[in-house]
A and B are shown apart, each in its own frame.
Chain A
């Protein structure tokens, strides 16, 4: 018998993580900046003022530079489900493929068609059609986010489907349940508001540099106003959508929530860690303290998780060993049921082939009764159902901390601009430049929480990563990992260098 090839699984995960992380460097700016450009373009269309045209053209150019590399890193993600996760592609393809196809049909064509009009249309199409094209690009990119996030949300919370033992895969039963699952809705709103925050941080940061250099003062101030208004509204909404996401995680992925909080022993009226440090070497089931120190907001975790200050929030130990009082089954029990499901599936298929309808019917009954635990039947041991706690915990808290920082930042940006003091606040302007990087860090951390926190599942409770890969040599994936790493790094350097140069050139002072 072979052993599970964890090196293949880990390299496949590393490759997917690498491409996803790179892709996510570019997507939020595309989402956020596209609307800001469309907004400026509209002001130009309404007023006909040359300064707004210059402004639109400048931000549009930066948008284009960023968009190209987003497209380049995006194509590989779609196909990687097939190349590196071929088992997943079959086992879930009936549901998972649909949003990807819809994304292409509904969104990508809108983007790619009208982006050409947006860039080349200045003297070729009517002003109105040109301005509308900017909006269509923005809508296209945001609709694309919707569908890919529906796909991702479904992996975290598989709904609207049933397992078909004859085809050995999960099949869609209700499209609307997949599309409108609360997980999908929260994820979409949270990611989108995050993208608008990044777009705003970018506009303010770049404009701050102009102010520090004493160039394009009016342009920079106007851009900052737009950035600060969009940013402030978005960052406030970001808190609301983040709360919705965390609440949803509590219902659908309690293990992820426990990891986010570093919570080992569940409690009623659980506090939310505001600041804390995990004790290194802490293992499931030992009696070590969870934290070196932790400042908690009393009862807040219970409230955010279940909208009840005294609700019980299960910890990792409760989920592994079970907790009868709260009706939580142990992982071992679920593993046993899962193994019955896996075995019944094999028996069912063999009985079908042998035309033994009695055994087939019995096996099918057993399979259906235990299917919701089938994923646990693939676990080698109970500990393998725990995600990396440290990474999830710190990523979550840093992300939340930065989220609150952005609110204060946008308020200050707005106040300084409205009082016309922004140009003299040199310290704040420098901070604004660095805040661009903070926006990206917060955003990537959010994905780390979502994706590392859901390990080991590619599909929550149904299929772990090591059952999802393609039948490949580890060496092959190692090679493609490094090829992608090298290529994406080179392209990223090119992108940043071009971007910085274009920013230095500044907006063209065209005269009408």
Chain B
């Protein structure tokens, strides 16, 4: 069935999958947001234990989504993998470092004889919560603002200087964090992850203090989230974008490119609006309607919003990973993708995704159907 699709259709299909994975990742980063809230919400040891254990049973799904995002990006758009990871070296290394220290922290924090002490592992979780959200946000920001790199495939025939992708600034990706558009996206995701985490706590923990405290912190987080999110949206929609000529494939700057993209793809516009409304509805229901299901509204909203923003980056003849150093080195879904054969083969593999989502959903429901409470701690059912 995928064999009959055109090469371009397959490239678009894979951009949709990558965008979907990225948007699920942003949603799942409520785990990271939660890691920044443990001490703020949990006032007693028992409360902190409840918080850690509620997000602790989800951390490895977030982690796996990140790994899948990386693997799928590699398989479908290898030139991005080669250019961005090898080029923006420091920003990716710092992100990866923060995930390495996260992966052990849940398991080791409360174990006896853990060498570094519980405080260190909790600090690891805090570091991951702050860095991963902000830096992944700023890295995604460069999909719209561009980076300084050049690509020349002929270099591989020069044994003394063979690397085809070259980062043209010594800051190795860290420069992205000094761009206001990137940074506003990074901070918006940081605060969003906290908002989602607070709603997740309210949804999955049976403890009065935690619920009350979560609501009051939620009020505080909403304002900076809205400020940074709106700032990002305004900057995005008013900036020049990287347009690709559909015939010559030449990349050039176009004023209001992303606004044009949004208006020229009404389905994306609708998704974006529903997404934003969903995020706000979740917050509203939690704060004013005593609802404990806000996470689902805001979660779906997050996925739709991020997904539509990434559609703006890659679709409608746009370069999704632009180079400000050499416009013609910019990556588009056409010039950076895998071969038609590989995309076709991988598309068959992608048919497993709904099945994967189904069993994750089933397992999630069976574990979370009963909220965790202090009794679980007494029964020693707490792992972390």
Chain A contact residues, CB within 8 Å of chain B = 1-4, 64-65, 67-69, 71-76, 78-79, 81-87, 89-91, 93-98, 100-106, 108-117, 119-125, 129, 133, 164, 167-169, 171-173, 175, 342-343, 345-346, 349-350, 378, 380, 466-467, 469-472, 476, 480, 483, 487, 490-491, 493-495, 497-498, 500-502, 505
- Between-chain CB contacts (< 8 Å), 9 pairs: A82-B86, A86-B83, A100-B75, A101-B75, A113-B61, A123-B379, A169-B78, A171-B339, A380-B159
In the complex, B45 has a CB within 8 A of chain A: no
A2 touches B160 (CB 8 A): yes
Q: Which of B101, B167, B360 contacts A113 (CB 8 A)?
A: B360
Nearest CB of chain B from residue A502's CB, rounded to whole Å: 7
In the complex, B89 has a CB within 8 A of chain A: yes
The 9 closest A-B pairs by CB, nearest first: A93-B78, A86-B86, A82-B85, A470-B86, A97-B75, A97-B74, A72-B103, A68-B107, A104-B68
A105 touches B352 (CB 8 A): yes
B379 touches A501 (CB 8 A): no
Which of A75, A84, A115, A175: most chain B CB closer than 10 A?
A75
- Which of B5-13, B91-99, B239-247 binds A? B91-99
Residues of B143-161 at the interface with A, using a CB-CB cut-off of 8 Å, are: 153-154, 156-157, 159-161
In the complex, B381 has a CB within 8 A of chain A: yes
A124 touches B84 (CB 8 A): no
Number of residue pairs A-B, CB distance < 8 angstroms: 295
B154 touches A349 (CB 8 A): yes
Interface string of B343-366 (1 = CB under 8 A from A): 001100110110010011001101
Interface string of B92-128 (1 = CB under 8 A from A): 1100110111111011100111111000000000000
Complex CA distance for A108 and B101, rounded to whole angstroms: 19
Residues of chain A within 8 A of B342, CB atoms compared: 94-95, 97-98, 171-172
Nearest CB of chain B from residue A188's CB, rounded to whole Å: 18
In the complex, B72 has a CB within 8 A of chain A: yes
B353 touches A494 (CB 8 A): no
Known A487-B100, A487-B101: A113·B359 in contact at CB below 8 Å: yes
Having A93-B78, A470-B87, one finds 10 other A-B pairs with CB under 8 Å, namely: A1-B160, A2-B161, A65-B111, A75-B103, A97-B71, A102-B71, A108-B67, A122-B381, A471-B167, A490-B115
Nearest CB of chain B from residue A263's CB, rounded to whole Å: 30
Nearest CB of chain A from residue B72's CB, rounded to whole Å: 5
Q: Which of A3, A109, A173 contacts B68 (CB 8 A)?
A: A109
Q: Which of B157, B172, B341, B346 contacts A173 (CB 8 A)?
A: B341
Nearest CB of chain A from residue B95's CB, rounded to whole Å: 9
In the complex, B63 has a CB within 8 A of chain A: yes
Residue of B with least CB distance to A345:
B157
B106 touches A102 (CB 8 A): no
In the complex, B166 has a CB within 8 A of chain A: yes
Q: For the complex, would chain B's binding face be called helix, strand, loop or mixed by DSSP majority? A: helix
A125 touches B366 (CB 8 A): yes
Which of A76, A81, A116, A476: most chain B CB closer than 10 A?
A116
Known A71-B60, A94-B78: A89·B363 in contact at CB below 8 Å: no
Residue of B with least CB distance to A470:
B86
Complex CA distance for A393 and B41, rounded to whole angstroms: 58
Residues of chain B within 8 A of A84, CB atoms compared: 86
Nearest CB of chain A from residue B35's CB, rounded to whole Å: 15
Which of A3, A84, A113, A490: most chain B CB closer than 10 A?
A113
B74 touches A89 (CB 8 A): yes
In the complex, B367 has a CB within 8 A of chain A: yes
In the complex, B81 has a CB within 8 A of chain A: yes
Complex CA distance for A64 and B154, rounded to whole angstroms: 48
Q: Which of B172, B370, B383 contacts A476 (CB 8 A)?
A: B172
B74 touches A93 (CB 8 A): yes
Residues of chain B within 8 A of A89, CB atoms compared: 74, 78, 81-82, 85-86
Which of A93, A96, A102, A501: most chain B CB closer than 10 A?
A93
In the complex, B265 has a CB within 8 A of chain A: no
A112 touches B366 (CB 8 A): no
Residues of chain B within 8 A of A502, CB atoms compared: 111
B93 touches A480 (CB 8 A): yes
Known A87-B156, A94-B338, A101-B74: A471·B86 in contact at CB below 8 Å: yes
Residues of chain B within 8 A of A94, CB atoms compared: 78, 338-339, 342
In the complex, B224 has a CB within 8 A of chain A: no
Residue of A with least CB distance to B162:
A467
